Structure 1
Amino acid sequence: MEEKKINPFLKLALELGPVILFFVFYGRVKERVFTIGGVEYEGFIVATALFIPLILLTTAIMWKLTGKLSKMQLMTAVLVVIFGGLSVWLNDERFFKMKPTMIYLLFGGLLGIGLLRGQSYLQLVMEEVMPLQPEGWMILTKRLALFFLGLAIANELVWRLMSTDAWVNFKTFGLTAAVFLFFMSQGKLMQTYAVPEDEAES
């Protein structure tokens, strides 16, 4: 099915909306304890329980509007269901906090496997958006694989050594800002290895 184009602001809202709503809702209920079915749940667990159907809803809307989902979107939704579901089922917030670690290890690992095979899996999913020469794709893929590994380590350190409030802030703003800054910092590489317009259009 051919991917349909949607308003970039709508796309951004669908991608970041669930995370922002989780942050806002958690801020309102973090000091509360909810008794459901005779079991006490802290605000973080309740916020997690609401985040799961929300991410599934926005993913479904994205698929409905575009006719296509990236592997990253699908894997993110699956891991949210698995780790978020475990947190709610076992009433243990640690599983949901581990989710970003698993996501970044998975993506970094997949890129690393491609590199060992002499391929850039990043090129396969982003070539149309950002045409680069093969050498540029390999360099960018190596950097991104290492960056994902760094994010996985950072997430582990934050959730294990800091408060839940600190982790929520890190997850909502820190990780998003880090990804944005990473790609901004690759401007020189993208200019150096950019495919000339006449070759990109041919």
Structure 2
Amino acid sequence: MSNDRIIETMEDAGKPKVNPALKLVLELGPLVVFFFANSRGEWLAGQFPALAELGGPIFIATGLFMAATATALIVSWVLTRTLPMMPLVSGIVVFVFGALTLWLQNDTFIKMKPTIVNTLFGVILLGGLAFGKPLLGYVFNAAFKLTDEGWRKLTLRWGLFFLVLAVLNEVIWRHFSTDFWVAFKVWGTMPITILFTLAQMPLIMKYSAEPAESKTP
């Protein structure tokens, strides 16, 4: 069975679709909560004494990040009755490493979360590619259709990009302050990812498997 056939099987025309604006909020919301809680941790602790039990600002931010992530996953499930692979895997790592961060009072764990997630996706994509299985369609929940060659090229690019993000996160958290790392996680990584995604549009258009009659004139 070709990759195109697999992707077509994965897609369900009757599946509820999330409004793009709401989807963006669900994806970025937890990160914004994380940034705000870290920058205003002392104020939050004063307003909500229970949060002070978690520790300093980074620990308050971690706790609220976990709660916001869980909320986003629940809302996504309620609306679509499905959970895309990337948010689900990322959420699991957030819960595990967030819990370790709070339990051991060591922010190294939450700082390593992006490294673990990006390395995991990078290895999965490149490993699958090495065995002739471009898995990007599964990772991105089959958002579009490409030819086999298109999936191979796009999978290679994204696999390498995930590994670059993993290395970048390691450099940032090991050599800069916690506040700088949090700010870069929100306001640096996301713009870089958006720019990279936009840069792939020529390849996506070139290898699109959509029927000619379905394309917008």
TM-score after normalising by structure 1: 0.89
| 1:155 and 2:169 correspond | yes
Match of 2:144 among 130, 137, 141: 130
Native 8 Å contact 1:31 1:43 kept in 2: no
User: Against the structure 1 CA distance between its residues 112 and 13, is the aligned structure 2 distance closer, same or farther, given a 3 Å change threshold?
Assistant: same
Give the drift of 1:191.
2.3
Native 8 Å contact 2:118 2:163 kept in 1: yes
Q: State the percentage of identical aligned residues.
A: 38
**Mapping of 1:19-168 within 5 angstroms?**
19-29=31-41, 41-126=55-140, 128-168=142-182
Give the drift of 1:6.
2.1
Q: Secondary structure at the match of 1:68?
A: coil
Match of 1:8 among 17, 20, 23: 20
Instruction: Please give the root-mean-square deviation of Cα atoms over the aligned residues, in Å.
Output: 2.6
Match of 2:209 among 180, 192, 195: 195
User: Against the structure 1 CA distance between its residues 127 and 85, is the aligned structure 2 distance closer, same or farther, given a 3 Å change threshold?
Assistant: closer
Match of 1:170 among 176, 179, 184: 184
Q: Which has the higher contact order (CA 8 A, sep 6+)?
A: 2
- Give CA deviations for 1:94-140 in whole Å, capped at 9, x if unaligned: 10000000000010111012101101101345474222111011011
Native 8 Å contact 1:22 1:51 kept in 2: yes
Letter in 2 for 1:49: G
Q: Secondary structure at the match of 1:41?
A: coil
TM-score after normalising by structure 2: 0.84
Q: Secondary structure at the match of 2:106?
A: coil
Native 8 Å contact 1:3 1:68 kept in 2: no
Give the ranges of 4+ consecutive aligned residues of structure 1 lying more than 3 Å apart after TM superposition: 30-36, 124-128, 198-201
Native 8 Å contact 2:29 2:68 kept in 1: no
Give the drift of 1:195.
2.0
Instruction: Determine the C-alpha separation between the residues in 2 that align with 1:115 and 1:86.
Output: 33
Unaligned stretches of 5+ residues in structure 1: none
Give the drift of 1:187.
2.0
